[in-house]
């Protein structure tokens, strides 16, 4: 079962959640973001890394989901520590100051 697709639409930055079916950590991250969608507008799209056409993301993120991007730029992996972490990142994206975070996983590179 693929979970790829829009979770919700909103103004502001586009958050992408790299996930798969039945990922409890991914569901927790989604819940945090959904709780902020009205106060800190953003849209949320899910990318199921197990979809056949998402092999690049599977190779990169298979050990590290959930992985989040903001406007196509790596943000964080595994979890959101707090609402404040998400609020800060979304605010940076709105103001044009969001920069890629360190630690982007790449399982394919590590397995070579």
Domain 5-110 has CATH 3.40.30.10: yes
Q: Is the pTM of this model over 0.85?
A: yes
* Mean per-residue pLDDT, 21-35: 96
* Mean per-residue pLDDT, 33-46: 97
Residue 112 has pLDDT above 90, yes or no: no
The domain ranges of the chain are: 5-110
For residue 51, what pLDDT is reported? 98
Secondary structure string (H, E, C) spanning 30-96: HHHHHHHCCCCCCEEEEEECCCHHHHHHHHHHCCCCCEEEECCEEEEECCCCCHHHHHHHHHHHHCC
Residue 61 has pLDDT above 90, yes or no: yes
């Amino acid at each position: 079962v693929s979970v790829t697709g829009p979770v919700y639409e909103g103004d502001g930055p586009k958050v992408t959640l790299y996930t798969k079916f039945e990922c409890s950590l991914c569901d927790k991250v989604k819940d945090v973001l959904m709780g902020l969608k009205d106060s800190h507008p953003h849209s949320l799209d899910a990318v199921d890394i197990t979809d056949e056409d998402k092999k690049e993301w599977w190779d990169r993120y298979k050990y590290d989901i959930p992985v989040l991007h903001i406007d196509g730029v790596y943000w964080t992996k595994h979890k959101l520590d707090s609402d404040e972490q998400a609020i800060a990142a979304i605010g940076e994206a709105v103001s044009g100051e969001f920069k890629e975070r360190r630690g982007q996983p790449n399982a394919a590179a590590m397995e070579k």
